[in-house]
């Protein structure tokens, strides 16, 4: 067990109020600076797992640690600063009149003011290539631009762990490539929830497969994607014509 792990999940279980069990004894460790893809069929528990990382959901068994600190009632504020989640739909995160105000909202709530707040907004927008759009309304941006602004709203909080839920969904090929270039330029720990297996291969070195609430595979992303039998057992499939790069 690494003392420098960014994320540790130990024997994690979770059941929804209706009794549906979404996670069953999940153990996972993610190193600082690591890029890991969370793969699995619909309903496998991937998003439920990520929502445990900053206390949006609380486990019914086991626990989560972020940078060695257990996520619990007394540490929720710090956990939410250290783990930034970019949701699948950017409109879930964009609600202010301008792009700059949206990006400022998070760090302001964590106590940033004045020059520090302005610097955070400027740096985050520059990181995603959206600085020139600071005073525009998010509703006037393209889907790819909104996705990048949603990412900036999280980057402005300077998280230690960045979680992205289906970041390539509904993007055209150019916007998909542009977002990948942004993500590849970041040096934060990255957890990527996706059904887009080529995107996982492009952005991550490691992957885990989650199915029926259990972690069923963990290894180098290209090795997992080359195992057609493994993918088939868990309703995963590479797109037609895509060949796994050989190391």
Tell me the backbone φ, ψ of residue 61, rounded to 5 degrees: -155, 150
Give the CATH number of the domain where residue 156 resides. Answer: 3.40.50.300
Stretch 160-186: mean pLDDT, rounded? 91
Spatial contact of 7 and 35, defined as CB atoms under 8 Å apart: no
In a domain, 33, yes or no: yes
* 0.75 exceeded by pTM: yes
In a domain, 10, yes or no: yes
Strands laid side by side in the 161-165 sheet: 83-86, 161-165, 189-193, 35-39, 206-211, 214-220
Place of tokens 């955070």: 120
Assigned domain for 60 exists: yes
Strand (E) or helix (H) holding 9: strand 5-15
Contact 186, 162 (CB under 8 A): yes
Q: Which residues pair with 64 in a beta bridge?
A: 9
**Is residue 11 included in any domain, yes or no?**
yes
Q: Return d(Cα 19, Cα 22) in angstroms, integer.
A: 9
Q: Looking at the domain assignment, is residue 206 inside a domain?
A: yes
- 176 located within any domain: yes
Query: Please, what is the average pLDDT of the chain?
Result: 93
Q: What are phi and psi for residue 181, nearest 5 degrees? A: -65, -40
Q: Residue holding tokens 């991937």?
A: 46
Structural domain tally of the chain? Answer: 1
Q: For 122-158, write each residue's pLDDT tens digit.
A: 999 999 999 999 999 999 999 889 999 999 999 999 9
Q: Which tens digit of pLDDT belongs to each residue from 47-106?
A: 999 999 999 999 999 999 999 999 999 999 999 999 999 998 888 889 999 999 999 999
pLDDT reported for residue 3: 57
**Is residue 243 included in any domain, yes or no?**
no
CA–CA dist 207, 37 (Å, integer): 4
**Residue 242 covered by a domain:** no
Q: In terms of residue numbers, what domain contains 50? A: 5-233
């Amino acid at each position: 067990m690494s003392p420098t792990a960014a994320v540790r999940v130990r024997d994690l279980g979770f059941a929804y109020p209706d009794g549906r069990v979404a996670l069953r004894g999940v153990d996972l460790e993610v190193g600082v600076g690591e890029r890991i893809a969370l793969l699995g069929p619909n309903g496998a528990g991937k998003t439920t797992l990520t929502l445990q990382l900053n206390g949006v959901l609380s486990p019914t068994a086991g626990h989560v640690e972020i940078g060695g600190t257990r996520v619990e009632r007394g540490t929720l504020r710090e956990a939410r600063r250290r783990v930034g989640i970019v949701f699948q739909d950017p409109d879930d995160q964009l609600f202010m009149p301008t792009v700059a105000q949206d990006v400022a909202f998070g760090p302001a709530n964590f106590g940033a003011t004045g020059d520090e707040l302005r610097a955070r907004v400027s740096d985050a927008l520059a990181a995603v290539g959206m600085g020139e759009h600071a005073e525009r309304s998010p509703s006037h941006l393209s889907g790819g631009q909104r996705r990048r602004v949603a990412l900036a709203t999280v980057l402005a909080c300077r998280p230690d762990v960045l979680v992205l839920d289906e970041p390539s969904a509904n993007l055209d090929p150019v916007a998909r490539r542009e977002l990948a270039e942004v993500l590849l330029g970041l040096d934060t720990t990255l957890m990527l929830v996706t059904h887009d297996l080529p995107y996982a291969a492009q952005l991550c070195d490691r992957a885990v497969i989650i199915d029926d609430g259990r972690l069923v595979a963990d290894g180098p992303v290209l090795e997992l994607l080359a195992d057609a039998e493994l993918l088939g057992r868990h309703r995963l499939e590479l797109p037609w014509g895509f060949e796994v790069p050989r190391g």
